[in-house]
Chain A
Amino acid sequence: MKRKIITVCIIIACFILECTIFQKLSFGSITPNLMIIVTSAFGFMRGKREGMMVGFISGLLIDIMFGDLIGFYTLIYTVLGYANGFFRKIFYDDDIKLPLILIAASDFLYGNIICIFMFVMRSRFHYFYYLKTIIIPELIYTILVTLALYQIILQINKKLESEEQRSASKFV
């Protein structure tokens, strides 16, 4: 129960940060994608099921506030959270490379999905322009933010896990 509340708090905090403070800290009007970091981090730290739920909530938040079509972002984030869950088996706490690669890949995939469904489908075919000015800069900025934000999420998760283990061992 405590884990659920804290997880939801992290999601909401990241959403609000992304929409307010990071908008003011944007470089060349590019802002990092915090929701991808959270979704994908919970995916590979906690597995498919939790990644999926975190993705669902994150996507729903975006849909409510900024989506024209409720369910679109929700679906993307849910699937991304689920896909990241596959990498739980090869995830270790002290390894920073895998999280960086996974988050970068998720953000790249996310950018491409948005580009295809929201722009190419409306016959705006400047794919390479979008790649150069939006997808790649967003990716780089997101990775930079990941270096800090991921550590925070990791520490929170570690603390929760050790607490859960302690309370579980009480009953043994």
Chain B
Amino acid sequence: MRKNNQTNFSSKQILLILSIVCVLLMGLSLITDKVSGPLRAVANYTIVPMQKGMNTIGLWMSDFTQNFATIQELRAKNKTLQAEIDELTVKNNLLQQDKHELERLRELYALDELYADYKKVGARVTMNDSGNWFHSFVIDKGSNDGIKVDMNVMAGKGLVGIVTEVGPNWSRVRSIIDDASNVSALVLSSSDTCVVNGDLTLMQDGRIRFEMLANNGTEIKEGEQVVTSHISSKYLQGILIGYISEIHVDSNNLTRSGYITPVVDFEHLREVLVITTTKDDILED
């Protein structure tokens, strides 16, 4: 009996050992990020290749369900979109003219292209957060492709999030609608800064909250553009976040807050663009 006890732990003891291991891991990962390195490498060769295949099946299935949209719906949409295209072409022509003028003026001012074109790398979304509490996802590019922590991620014309963890062939991106996300932002028309933070209670409406917008008399209406601000330490300047959908003065009468509708459709993210310059790179230059 005694011999048996020495070689085999009872399940209570195993529970204790595993719990201590977990607590130690938590403590260690608070202090350094070296713990997750080897684990990430293991995941890189086991989970990541499989999930890529599965993801294509999932995409096919969601395509299949979306195919049931009625023809009438599509026709109506087509009509409005056609009208929109015509309108946008006219607008675009005007903007092209403006752009040439702007370039000329910039040259005059010897202003470099401060935030015009960041270099981007395309990546595919392969996996979404397993739970329902947070909104992060995994993309199929990692440190082997030059992705680093704190790189900004866009989809289409808007900001999606920021890279928080990098493995050899994958990296994790935290969306701006995630409950733990905070972005320093700027209202384009008045250049007032505010803070945009994600909130789980708003996630299902597809909205995000903004706070700390100074109540300084500038008139800010619904529908105005909000972009990332110049004072942010992580986010590059001038990336579109969304449009103000609701704004009200706080009870302290000093600040304003409200809601933003993001330009990115977070429910159907498939391809994203990772900006390969970080704010640190720019600040060092």
A71 engages B26 (CB within 8 Å): yes
What's the least CB distance linking B180 to chain A, in Å?
8
How far is B42's CA from A134's CA once the two chains are assembled, in angstroms? 31
Binds B, one of A98-106, A123-131, A148-156: A123-131
> Interface size class for chain B?
35 or more
| Residue from A35, A65, A129 within 8 A of B127 (CB atoms) | A65
How far is B131's CA from A30's CA once the two chains are assembled, in angstroms? 8
Residue of B nearest to A135 (CB): B132
Interface of B is mostly: helix
Chain B hits for A130, CB < 8 A: 200-201
Residue of B nearest to A34 (CB): B130
What's the least CB distance linking A79 to chain B, in Å?
7
What's the least CB distance linking A126 to chain B, in Å?
6
What's the least CB distance linking B178 to chain A, in Å?
11
A129 engages B23 (CB within 8 Å): no
Contact bitstring B198-234, A, C-beta under 8 A = 1, else 0:
0111011000000000000000000000000000000
Q: Does A49 sit within 8 A of B, measured CB to CB? A: yes
Interface residues of A in 126-144 (CB under 8 A from B): 126, 129-130, 133-134, 138
How far is B21's CA from A115's CA once the two chains are assembled, in angstroms? 23
Interface of A is mostly: helix
B200 engages A119 (CB within 8 Å): yes
Binding site for A on B (CB under 8 A): 11, 14-15, 18-19, 21-26, 28-30, 35-36, 39-40, 42-43, 46-47, 50-51, 54-55, 57-59, 61-62, 126-134, 136, 138, 164, 172, 179-180, 199-201, 203-204, 267
The 3 closest A-B pairs by CB, nearest first: A71-B25, A75-B22, A71-B26
